[in-house]
Amino acid sequence: MNNAAAETNAEKIGWSREEMAQRTAMDIPNGAYVNLGIGIPELVARFVPEGREVIYHTENGLLGMGPVGDDGGEPELINAGKKRVSAIPGAAFFHHADSFSMIRGGHLDVCVLGAMQVAENGDLANWSTGAPDAIPAVGGAMDLVAGVKTIYVITQHVTKQGDPKLLERCTMPLTGVGIVSRIYTDLAVIDVTDAGFRVAEMAPGVDFEYLQERTGATLLPPGS
Amino acid sequence: MNNAAAETNAEKIGWSREEMAQRTAMDIPNGAYVNLGIGIPELVARFVPEGREVIYHTENGLLGMGPVGDDGGEPELINAGKKRVSAIPGAAFFHHADSFSMIRGGHLDVCVLGAMQVAENGDLANWSTGAPDAIPAVGGAMDLVAGVKTIYVITQHVTKQGDPKLLERCTMPLTGVGIVSRIYTDLAVIDVTDAGFRVAEMAPGVDFEYLQERTGATLLPPGS
Amino acid sequence: MIDKQIGSPAEAVREIFDGATVMIGGFGEAGSPIELIHALIDQGTRDLTVVNNNTGSGHVGLAALIENRQVRKMICSFPRTANSLVFPELYRAGEIELELVPQGTLAERIRAGGAGIPAFYTPSSVGTPLAEGKEVRQFDGQDYVMEYGLTADFSLIKCRQADRLGNLVYNKTARNFAPVMAMAGRRTIVQAREIVPVGAIDPECVVTPGIFVQGIVQVSDPLHESLLVAEGRSYP
Amino acid sequence: MIDKQIGSPAEAVREIFDGATVMIGGFGEAGSPIELIHALIDQGTRDLTVVNNNTGSGHVGLAALIENRQVRKMICSFPRTANSLVFPELYRAGEIELELVPQGTLAERIRAGGAGIPAFYTPSSVGTPLAEGKEVRQFDGQDYVMEYGLTADFSLIKCRQADRLGNLVYNKTARNFAPVMAMAGRRTIVQAREIVPVGAIDPECVVTPGIFVQGIVQVSDPLHESLLVAEGRSYP
C-alpha cells in the first residue's frame, strides 16, 4: 500500500487502540508492578501474555487492582480515574503517602501514560494545554514520571487535527523532563534514545516516509 | 528540722522515688498521651489519680502500653527499655517512622525523662557524660524533647557524689535546648521559667536554704 | 475516661472558625465526609482554606461548600473532574484561589506536616511550571524541589470503624488521604460508619491510632455523593 | 507466576556482596532476623555497613556478625545495651566506625530513602553535638537540621506472616523498623514464621505490601536471641 492509498483510507491504516495496548503489554515482564494511566493505557491490562503475572497499582491506594472492567460495585473501591474496580486476592490497601512512596521511591517498574506531546529528548506534556483559560489539574502524573523506573507512552501518532504529537521539543507545559523510554502509537513503536526517536516497529501499511511525514522530529530508521 | 539534722539523716530527707513519681502523676491530666523514659519515670504510670485515663506511648511502636510491671510474657512485646510489657484493649502497633511522627509532630502531651543535668534555661543533658572513652548512645531522647509538648524531668536533686544536677548551664552534651518545663526531684518540684528555676513545692523537711545549697543556680522562692 | 464521641455533625464542626484551614478527606466521593461538610455548610463558616485532592462534584458535599462561597482558597491536585461544575466557574471569575500541587507532593506535604517535618525535597515537578519559584537543589547530581509540610486547624475525615479512643480503620480505597490528614490536623474530626467497643479493633490492624483523633461522630448510613449528583440534588 | 519464596537462609543472603550496605530489622531482639544474620556469618561477607537501632547482644545475631569482623561501620541510635559486649570493645579499639543518629531521625531517614525523598528537615538534635557539621535552617523562626534519606543494597527483616507476593504482617513491637527498611532496601529479604496462601492476609491489614519485598524464606521456629544470650551461647 502506498502513501496515496493510505491517505484515502486513513481510517484503516495503523493499529487499533486494542492493538496498541496489546503491543505495549508484550513489553511488560512477568512480576512487574505497573501503573496504568487513564484512557488507552487502561486497556493494557487486558492483554497480559499467557504465563505472566503482573500486579497493578492505582495511586489512590491499592496494589493488586483487579482486571479492568471488573466493577466491584462499591463506590469506595475505585481507581485513579475514579472508576469502580475490584481487588485481587493478595491485594493491599494503603494511604496516599504510602502509595506515592511506592511511586517516588522507584518501586514501580512500569507506568503507561497517555500524552499530548512527547519530545525526542523524552520530555512529556500530558497535563495542560497551557491555554490561558484552562483550569490547571495535574493529579499524580508528575509524581509517576519522576519516580517510576520505566515510562511508556501510548498515544495516537497525531492529534485529531492531524498535527504531530512527537516533536523536537514540547510546546505545552511539561509533566516531566527526559523520562519517556518508548512510545506506542497507532502507527509505530518508537524508542526515545540519546540520538532521538528511533523507530522500532511500524504498523502494517505504514512505511518510514509515511511515519516521518507525521512526526515533528527526525526519525532514526529501525535498526539504525 | 534544721539543716544540720537533715544532713546527719540525709537518707531520710526528701521524697522517695515512688513519691516523686506520684507527685509527677498528679500533673498529668485525664486523656493525656504520655511517653515515660527509663528508670524513675516508668514508675509514674503506677500513680495515675483515680478517674483519669492516660494512654502510654512507647517509641518502639506501641500506643496503649499496659501497666508497668505487667509482663506480657512475649519477647516481641517490649518497651523502649527493652523490658517485656503488655498492651491494653484499644492499643495499636505501628512502625518506627509512624511512632516518631507522633513524637516529632507534637502529638504527645507529656514526656517524663530522667536527667544528668538540667539548666535554668531549660536545657537538658541526659544522654552522654561527654567522657572521651564513652560509647555515645542517644536512642529517642533527642526526638522526644524536640517534639513532645511538655517535658518533665524526674531526677535526684544531686548526683551520688553530692554534686548539683540543676545548674546555670549544663556542662555535659545537650539532649535539647530550652525544653524542660518542670523538674521533680527528691527535694522539690521546680518550674523552669523565663526568670530561671522557681520552686513550686518542697519535700517535707526541706527548706529553701537547704534546697539552694544543693542547687547550682539561683532559685526563685515559691510564689515569687 | 477518654471518650471522643460527639453527638452530631453540627456539634462536631462547631469549633471551626472563619478563616480556618480545613483538610477534607476523600478522593472523589470515596472517603468524603459528606455529613460533616454539610454541617459546615449549615454553620456558614466562611473564608476557609480547604485541602482536598479535588473540588467536589455536582452541587453537594465539597462542591456545595464552594458554591456557598465559604471557601477562599483550594489546595488540591485535580480541581476538575467529570462533574466538577462549581469550581471552574468561580475560578475563571477570579472568585476563588487555587494552589495546585502534584498529588504525591500533596500527600507527602500533609504527612510531613503531621510528622513535624517542616520541609523536604522531592523529584516531582522538577523542570515543570509547578516548580517555578520553588527552591531547586541537587543531591547526588539530581535536581529536587523543596516543598513545605502542610498542617491544618481542622481535618474532617470519614472511616469505617472507630472506638471511643479514636482508633480508626477505613474501607478500601476510601482510606486515601484520611490517615495523613488525621496526623496533620490540630483537631481531627471523624465521621464513622460504626463505633465499636474499645478492643474490637485488632491492634495489628489499626490504621489511625487514637492519638491523631480529637472527635468522632457516628454516621451509620452516609449519603452517597454520586447518587445525589446523578439525581441532580443540591445542598442545602 | 510471581513467587518470591527462597529455599533457605543461605540462599536468601547469597547476593549480599562485600562492602554492601545492609539494613537489619529489629529493636533489640524483637524483630531481629537472626537466621538471616547467621547465614550472613556463614557466608563470611565482609566490609559491611549495617543499619540497625542497636549493635546486638551477647555473642549471637548482630553482635556475632560484628564480632566476626564483617562490619566496617554501624549506623545506629543506641550502640550499647545491657548485654552489648562486642561493639564497645571494637569501637574503643578503633576497629569499627559508628554513625550515631537519633532514633526518630534514623527511622525517618530510612523512610525517606524508601520514599524517594533525598533530604528533609527535623527539629531533633538542634543545638546538640549530633547536629554539628549539619546544615541548620530556619522555618517559621525555628531551627531545623537537614538530614539525608538512607537506602541500602539489602534489607534483612523478620515477619509473622507472608504470602508468595511478599505481603507481610508483623508481630506486635517486632514490627519496629521492618516496614521502613523494606521500603529502603533495593533487595528486601524476609524471614517469615509462616507463609500463607495469597488472599489469606486481609488487604486492609497488610502492613508491608509485596512491592517492597524481593525474597521470602520461611523460618518457622526462629531462635530467641535473649535465650541464647542467657545460655552464654555464641555463633558460629
A180 neighbourhood in chain C, CB within 8 Å: none
* CB contact at 8 A, C34 and C60: yes
Average pLDDT of adjacent 10-residue blocks, chain C of 236 residues = 96 98 96 98 98 96 97 96 87 96 98 98 97 97 98 98 98 98 98 98 98 98 95 95
Tens-digit pLDDT profile for residues D86-131: 999 999 999 999 999 999 999 999 999 999 999 999 999 999 999 9
Tens-digit pLDDT profile for residues A181-224: 999 999 999 999 999 999 999 999 999 999 999 999 999 999 88
> Hey, which residues does B193 pair with through a beta bridge?
B196
DSSP per residue over C5-25, as a string? B-S-HHHHTTT--TT-EEEE-
Provide the ipTM. 0.96
What is the mean pLDDT of the segment spanning A98-123?
A: 98
Which helix (H) or strand (E) segment is D226 a member of?
helix D225-230
Chain-centroid distance of CA D7 in Å reads 21
Nearest CA in chain D to C160: D204
| Percentage of residues in chain A having pLDDT higher than 90 | 86
DSSP per residue over D6-31, as a string? -S-HHHHTTT--TT-EEEE--BTTBT
Asked if B139 and D103 come within 8 Å (Cβ–Cβ), the reply is yes
Report chain B's C-alpha Rg in angstroms. 18
* CB contact at 8 A, B182 and B189: yes
pLDDT value at residue A11:
57
Which helix (H) or strand (E) segment is D155 a member of?
strand D152-162
- Whole-number average pLDDT of chain B: 93
Tens-digit pLDDT profile for residues C121-164: 999 999 999 999 999 999 999 999 999 999 999 999 999 999 99
β C48-51/C71-76 pair status: parallel
What is the mean pLDDT of the segment spanning B48-73?
A: 91
| D183 reaches A (C-beta below 8 A) | yes
A107 neighbourhood in chain D, CB within 8 Å: 183, 211-212
- Whole-number average pLDDT of chain A: 93
> Is pLDDT of D176 > 70?
yes
What contacts C26, CB < 8 A, 6 or more positions away?
C32, C33, C52, C53, C54, C62, C158, C174, C176, C177, C178
Cell numbers linked to D39:
547465614
β C48-51/C21-24 pair status: parallel
How near does any CA of chain A get to the CA of C156, in Å? 16
What is the mean pLDDT of the segment spanning A14-30?
A: 97
pLDDT band at A1 (very low <50, low <70, confident <90, very high): very low
* CB contact at 8 A, C188 and C215: yes
> Is pLDDT of A104 > 80?
yes
Query: What single-letter DSSP state applies at residue A173?
Result: P
- CB-count exposure of residue C140 (10 Å: 0-12, 13-18, 19+): exposed
pLDDT band at B72 (very low <50, low <70, confident <90, very high): confident
Among A11, A42, A59, A76, the one annotated catalytic: A59
pLDDT value at residue B199:
98
Asked if D115 and A92 come within 8 Å (Cβ–Cβ), the reply is no
pLDDT value at residue B6:
44
> Is pLDDT of D55 > 60?
yes
Asked if D104 and B74 come within 8 Å (Cβ–Cβ), the reply is no
> Is pLDDT of D84 > 50?
yes
| D83 reaches B (C-beta below 8 A) | no
pLDDT band at A6 (very low <50, low <70, confident <90, very high): very low
Asked if chain A contacts chain D via 3 or more Cβ pairs within 8 Å, the reply is yes
The answer to whether residue B11 is catalytic is no
Cis peptide before D236 (omega within 30 of 0): yes
pLDDT value at residue B11:
57
How near does any CA of chain A get to the CA of D45, in Å? 26
Cα separation, A200 vs B201, in Å, equals 83
Amino acid code (one letter) for B2: N
Tens-digit pLDDT profile for residues C202-221: 999 999 999 999 999 999 99
* CB contact at 8 A, D221 and D158: no
- Phi/psi at A119 (5° precision): -100, 160
pLDDT value at residue A5:
43
> Is pLDDT of B57 > 60?
yes
Neighbours of chain D (3+ CB pairs under 8 A): A, B, C
On the CB side of B73, CA atoms within 13 Å amount to: 0
Tens-digit pLDDT profile for residues D134-161: 999 999 999 999 999 999 999 999 999 9
Chain-centroid distance of CA C84 in Å reads 17
| Percentage of residues in chain D having pLDDT higher than 70 | 100
What contacts C19, CB < 8 A, 6 or more positions away?
C46, C47, C48, C72
pLDDT value at residue A157:
98
> Is pLDDT of D3 > 90?
yes
| C215 reaches A (C-beta below 8 A) | no
pLDDT value at residue B2:
44
Its pTM surpasses 0.95: yes
Nearest Cα to Cα of residue C153 among C45, C42, C31:
C45
Task: Measure CB to CB from residue A101 to each of D2, D115, D167 and give the nearest one.
Answer: D115
pLDDT value at residue B69:
74
Query: What single-letter DSSP state applies at residue D212?
Result: G
pLDDT value at residue B1:
37
- Phi/psi at C19 (5° precision): 90, 0
Nearest Cα to Cα of residue C63 among C44, C85, C48, C42:
C85
